[in-house]
Amino acid sequence: MPEVNVKVYSTGTCPICVQAKTLLDKWGIPYAEKRIDQDRKAYEEMMKGTNNARTVPQICIKGKWIGGFSELTELHMDGDLDELVIK
């Protein structure tokens, strides 16, 4: 099983979170979902890592917080996502 370098912090009621996870699946990028609505520790991780972001999804790649869905698609369109995920 490949190492999971991507974490998606989400909630169960977030349609944009679903879109982000669908794109990662489509691109063949494995990820771990962290449900901040069910896991207090995941919520605290997200708050600390994002300087108290108030929206989901929040995406972390190899310890680097990239932002949400828009930033994820922008990285992919610019051709930078593969490099960030693989290295």
Q: What are the pLDDT digits (tens) for 29-52?
A: 999 999 999 999 999 999 999 999
Say if 14 falls within a structural domain: yes
Say if 1 falls within a structural domain: no
Model confidence pLDDT, tens digit, residues 46-73: 999 999 999 999 999 999 999 999 999 9
Say if 30 falls within a structural domain: yes
Q: What is the CATH number of the domain that holds 62?
A: 3.40.30.10
Strand 31-35 and strand 6-10: the pairing is parallel
What is the rounded CA–CA span in Å between residue 48 and residue 64? 12
Q: Can you list the pairs that 79-82 forms with residues at least 24 positions away whose Cβ atoms lie under 8 Å?
A: 81/27, 81/29
* Full residue range of the structural domain in which residue 37 is found: 6-86
Say if 46 falls within a structural domain: yes
pLDDT band at 85 (very low <50, low <70, confident <90, very high): confident
Nearest to 36 by CA among 61, 64, 55, 16: 55
Q: Is the pLDDT confidence value at 87 over 80?
A: no
